[in-house]
Amino acid sequence: MRELVLHSEAEAELLEATLWYFDREPRVATRLLREFDRVAGLICAQPELFSIAREGSRPVIRRALLRRFPYGIVFTESAETIHVIAFAHLRRAPDYWVDRLVAKKKP
């Protein structure tokens, strides 16, 4: 199975969402983290199962949706690693994370 690496901003988005749910109901925040872990495991095992988020992009960008939460895990893959670009709220600005791809390519 491949290693999962979160972009620093994706990690911050996951933390922000978790804290938002925690403030309202701690058990829901726990469910969010469990669902993230479940989907991340599926991504690492079979990333090609998930839909392409941005047609024609190189590298291929995919998105995995979480159940019961309005979030998607946006990622790219290499031979050994899954790179999570964003933990994206599905009802906010689409493709806001595209600039992260450029930043990722810099040495």
**Could you state, in order of their start, the residue ranges of all structural domains in the chain?**
3-92
Multiple choice CATH, 3-92, 3.90.1300.10, 3.30.420.40, 3.50.50.60, 3.30.2310.20: 3.30.2310.20
Q: What band does 93 get if pLDDT is binned at 50, 70 and 90?
A: confident
* Residue 73 φ/ψ region, left for φ over 0, alpha for ψ in the -120 to 50 degree band, beta for the rest: beta
| Entry pTM | 0.90
pLDDT-wise least confident of 5-9, 30-34, 51-55: 51-55
User: Residue 107: its pLDDT value, please?
Assistant: 41
Mean pLDDT of 71-75: 97
Q: Which residue has the higher pLDDT, 78 or 30?
A: 30
Q: What band does 103 get if pLDDT is binned at 50, 70 and 90?
A: low
d(CA 44, CA 2): 5
